[in-house]
């Protein structure tokens, strides 16, 4: 009796399972072959399992003993493998997008740096020129995250309060003036017991990325980094209780402006927030954050060099007139 005749005599339900399994195997092979070595290994395993199944069919064992487990294993493998491939393609797409916008930041640095030496508006100060460049860099930095990040804040030590506090120096995406004035983060060495530095303060003091995620709780919301997070907004009365208003984001990250990871010198902090609760969690995004911060640090270093250049020039001019 031929195998085809044997197949036709099988109950309809069993034949449906075999056909469905065959389709799954075909899909597996097509997907696996596309992936090179994985495809070769999968193809060999397929041939071996198929010949084994046919051999068993010749001695006419119960069909489910040889067929259904094999199909179940293959389907389970596809169910696990395919989402990983989809996520990988998304990550690659995000990386390409980020690289494109990193190039935009580099172009901005190259094109705008001459403005610091030769400003288009003679009456414009060096600080005003740098602020305009920083705003543009912040905008381009948020665009590196596709549509998930819309706000960025650039913080520097405030010299008016002994440099012990970080304050918002520039921002992009909108922050009201009162909120900007309230935000200050202690970066000194004498933190009072029971006090917090805030997320930005910890990033500056520890020289590392610091994250916070906003999560729901019995009181409405809280941060998952309560040992550092500070809410600077004023409390409001809701349902008979004084509560802090929920922040306009679900995740927040602060990046120290250091020359490289682990370096002790830090000149400031850049912060990004997003409604996407997991946008800053992947390792490749953490690396991107340091690359973005490096561009912002570069413009501040350039500013200092330009200031020293003009200061040295004025000194030499003064000496030459003596």
pLDDT digits (tens, 9 = 90+) for 104-125: 778 887 887 777 777 777 777 8
| Domain boundary residue, one of 86, 105, 127 | 86
- Tell me how crowded residue 293 is: count the other CB atoms within 10 A of its CB: 22
Which distant-in-sequence residues (6+ apart) come within 8 Å of 14 by Cβ?
A: 63, 64
Range of the domain at 189: 119-320
For residues 77 and 128, state if they share a domain: no
| Domain boundary residue, one of 69, 86, 103 | 86
| The predicted structure's pLDDT at residue 91 | 46
Sequential DSSP letters for 84-150:
HHHHHHHHHHHHHHHHHHHHHHHHHHHHHHHHHHS-SSTTS-HHHHHHHHHHHHHHHHHHTTTTSEE
CA atoms of 100 and 97, how far apart (whole Å): 5
Cβ(158)–Cβ(269) below 8 Å = no
User: CA nearest 119: which of 300, 303, 248?
Assistant: 303
In a domain, 110, yes or no: no
CA atoms of 217 and 215, how far apart (whole Å): 7
User: CA nearest 208: which of 255, 168, 249?
Assistant: 255
- Residue with the bigger pLDDT between 278 and 17: it is 278
Instruction: Report residue 295 as tokens.
Output: 């561009």
Does the structure show a pLDDT above 90 at 33? no
For residues 137 and 283, state if they share a domain: yes
In a domain, 109, yes or no: no
Helix (H) or strand (E) holding 166: strand 165-172
Least-confidence region, from 15-24, 56-65, 304-313: 56-65
For residues 220 and 303, state if they share a domain: yes
| The predicted structure's pLDDT at residue 43 | 52
Q: Give the CATH number, domain containing residue 155.
A: 3.30.450.40
| The predicted structure's pLDDT at residue 59 | 47
Instruction: Report residue 99 as tokens.
Output: 């690289």
For residues 259 and 180, state if they share a domain: yes
CA atoms of 140 and 181, how far apart (whole Å): 25
For residues 282 and 212, state if they share a domain: yes
Please report how the helices 37-58 and 12-34 are oriented relative to each other, as an axis angle in degrees rounded to 10.
160
Cβ(301)–Cβ(263) below 8 Å = no
Query: pLDDT tens, 200-259?
Result: 999 999 999 999 999 888 777 889 998 999 888 877 777 667 777 888 899 999 999 986
Calculate mean pLDDT across residues 180-195: 89
Give how many domains the chain has, as a whole number.
2
In a domain, 113, yes or no: no
User: What is residue 210's three-state secondary structure?
Assistant: strand
CA atoms of 272 and 289, how far apart (whole Å): 9
In a domain, 74, yes or no: yes
| Domain boundary residue, one of 43, 67, 86 | 86
User: What is residue 234's three-state secondary structure?
Assistant: coil
């Amino acid at each position: 009796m031929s195998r085809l005749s044997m197949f036709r005599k099988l109950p309809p339900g069993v034949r449906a399972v075999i056909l469905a399994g065959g389709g799954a195997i075909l899909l597996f092979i097509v997907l696996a072959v596309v992936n090179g070595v994985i495809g070769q290994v999968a193809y060999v395993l397929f041939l071996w399992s198929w010949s084994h199944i046919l051999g068993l069919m010749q001695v006419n064992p119960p069909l489910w003993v040889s067929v259904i487990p094999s199909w179940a294993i293959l389907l389970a493998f596809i169910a696990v493998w395919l989402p990983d491939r989809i996520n990988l393609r998304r990550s690659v797409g995000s990386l390409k997008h980020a690289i494109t916008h990193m190039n935009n930041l580099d172009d901005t640095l190259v094109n705008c740096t001459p403005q610091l030496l030769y400003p288009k508006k003679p009456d414009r100060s060096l600080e005003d020129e740098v602020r305009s460049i920083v705003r543009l860099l912040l905008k381009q930095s948020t665009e590196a995250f596709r549509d998930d990040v819309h706000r960025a804040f650039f913080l520097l030590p405030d010299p008016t309060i002994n440099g012990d506090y970080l304050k918002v120096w520039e921002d992009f995406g909108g922050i009201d003036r009162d909120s900007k004035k309230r935000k200050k983060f202690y970066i000194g060495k004498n933190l009072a017991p029971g006090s917090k530095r805030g997320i930005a303060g910890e990033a500056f003091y520890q020289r590392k990325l610091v994250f916070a995620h906003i999560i729901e709780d019995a009181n409405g919301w809280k941060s998952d980094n309560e040992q550092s997070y500070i809410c600077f907004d004023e409390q409001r009365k809701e349902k008979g209780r004084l509560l802090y208003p929920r922040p306009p984001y679900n995740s927040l990250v602060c990046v120290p402006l250091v020359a490289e990871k682990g370096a002790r010198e830090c000149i400031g902090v850049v912060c990004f927030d997003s409604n996407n609760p997991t946008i800053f969690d992947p390792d490749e995004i953490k690396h991107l954050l340091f690359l973005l911060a490096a561009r912002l640090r570069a413009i501040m270093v350039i500013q200092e060099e330009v200031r020293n250049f003009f200061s040295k020039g004025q000194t030499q001019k003064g000496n030459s007139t003596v």
